[in-house]
Amino acid sequence: MLEERRAGDVGVWFVGARGSVATTAVAGCAAVAAGLRPPTGMVTETPPFAASGLPALTSLVFGGHDTAACPLPKRAEELTAAGVLPHGLADAVRGELTAADAEIRPGGPSAGDTRTDDALIASFTSDITGFTRRHHLSRTVVINVASTESAPGPDDPRPAPSSLYAAAALRAGCPYVNFTPSTGLRTTALTEAFAARGLPHAGRDGKTGQTLLRSVLAPMFVQRALSVRAWSGTNLLGGGDGAALADPAAAAAKNAGKERVLTDTLGHTPQGEVHIDDVPALGDWKTAWDHIAFDGFLGSRMVLQTIWQGCDSALAAPLVLDLARLVARAHEAGLSGPLPGLGFYFKDPDGGPAALADQYAALLAFAARLRDAR
């Protein structure tokens, strides 16, 4: 039986609400809140965040937009069959999945959609404000976890769909998180408008695997005065993300973020490229292989190779829940504009340091700032 909603509950509005990451986040939040599973992977459940005034997991209410129609309990069954969710969990949290499913509205623009940009923004805004009012929520955080788009070119007649959703978040007065490499609010007009409206935002592109490792290893080479000559990477993955990233234009947006951490940390861009191959048989399991060629003392040539094998949605979902809580609390504390203290979570962050250890220190300082805020 679902609990009655209380004043002060916080809305989490997913753009891409029927995707693997969103479904895993809704199911995982319910499972952890009910004590069925430990909060492994949730940084906000560790001691440094205990006094930061973050909303409780039991206070999060989920809804969102999606262009697909598959009901959330069915998506959770699919994720169970694929080994992403443990057996029995989807049944145990069916009530929460059904409740979130009832709050998912059709996204856009779909094929043949003749609505103008403004009409789409107005419709998305009304869906978000209706959700916030219906559940008497203190605030709603809009989080983009939709399929990665190709970056719009300068001659594109329309803004990217992710920017229409960001504009709707702005109009609805909601803080915003972009967990994808899509444009979202990274346009001058939207970024300025968020700051002017006093809304906090964070992005972009969650750092869950290969780039996480890069942000740890690149500082090691710098600190040990080893010269990185080339850094090449290949990713094999399936699932919806694998299919979306098979489009070279969508993959280009992702790869730019993966390279940025190297350029920012090493001070130069080493030779080498990143490739993403769609292998549907792998489903949500990603293999990321990195090959790093570096020089040691007297020019001695050496190589480090790493292989990361991770379940993409299981890595991403706890971070999405962390971000929902942190950004909701930042909004409550009156913070606005970009939140560089959250660079720990992103491949292409809004300022702040590039090395993971420094980003973690910045996150702890951010947690302390939230603790000391009213």
The footprint of ligand NAD (CB under 6 A) covers 15-16, 18-21, 65-68, 107, 145-148, 161, 179-180, 205-206, 208, 239-241, 244, 312-313, 315-316
> Which residue type sits at 262?
L
Rounded to the nearest whole angstrom, what is the least distance from the CB of residue 288 to ligand NAD in the complex? Answer: 10
Rounded to 10 degrees, the C-alpha dihedral 94/40/317/184 comes to 150
Rounded to the nearest whole angstrom, what is the least distance from the CB of residue 180 to ligand NAD in the complex? Answer: 3
Rounded to the nearest whole angstrom, what is the least distance from the CB of residue 206 to ligand NAD in the complex? Answer: 3
Rounded to the nearest whole angstrom, what is the least distance from the CB of residue 370 to ligand NAD in the complex? Answer: 24
Rounded to the nearest whole angstrom, what is the least distance from the CB of residue 159 to ligand NAD in the complex? Answer: 12
**Nearer of residues 322 and 332 to ligand NAD, judged by Cβ:** 322
Q: Which of 328, 236, 331, 224 is nearest to 277 (CA)?
A: 236
Task: Count CB atoms within 10 A of the CB of residue 189.
Answer: 11
Q: Residue 32 has which token pair? A: 């952890």
**Nearer of residues 236 and 293 to ligand NAD, judged by Cβ:** 236
**Nearer of residues 228 and 314 to ligand NAD, judged by Cβ:** 314
**Nearer of residues 52 and 147 to ligand NAD, judged by Cβ:** 147
| Distance (Å) of CA 90 to CA 84, 93, 96, 151 | 11, 5, 10, 35
**Nearer of residues 40 and 271 to ligand NAD, judged by Cβ:** 40
Which residue do the tokens 């949290």 mark? 93
**What does the alpha-carbon distance between residue 163 and residue 43 come to, in Å, rounded to a whole number?**
28
Map residue 11 onto helix, strand or coil.
strand
Rounded to the nearest whole angstrom, what is the least distance from the CB of residue 47 to ligand NAD in the complex? Answer: 25
Helix, strand and coil content of the chain, in percent to the nearest 5, comes to: 45, 20, 35
The answer to whether 158 and 176 have CB atoms below 8 angstroms apart is no
Residue 176 has φ and ψ, to the nearest 5°, of -140, 140
CA count, 13 A, side-chain hemisphere, 267: 7
Which residue do the tokens 């329309």 mark? 158
**Nearer of residues 151 and 373 to ligand NAD, judged by Cβ:** 151
> Which residue type sits at 160?
A
Rounded to the nearest whole angstrom, what is the least distance from the CB of residue 132 to ligand NAD in the complex? Answer: 18
**Nearer of residues 15 and 142 to ligand NAD, judged by Cβ:** 15
Q: Which of 320, 364, 8 is nearest to 143 (CA)?
A: 320
**Nearer of residues 199 and 276 to ligand NAD, judged by Cβ:** 276
**Nearer of residues 66 and 259 to ligand NAD, judged by Cβ:** 66
| Distance (Å) of CA 224 to CA 228, 250, 295, 298 | 11, 35, 11, 14
CA count, 13 A, side-chain hemisphere, 252: 8
Rounded to the nearest whole angstrom, what is the least distance from the CB of residue 245 to ligand NAD in the complex? Answer: 7
Rounded to the nearest whole angstrom, what is the least distance from the CB of residue 92 to ligand NAD in the complex? Answer: 21
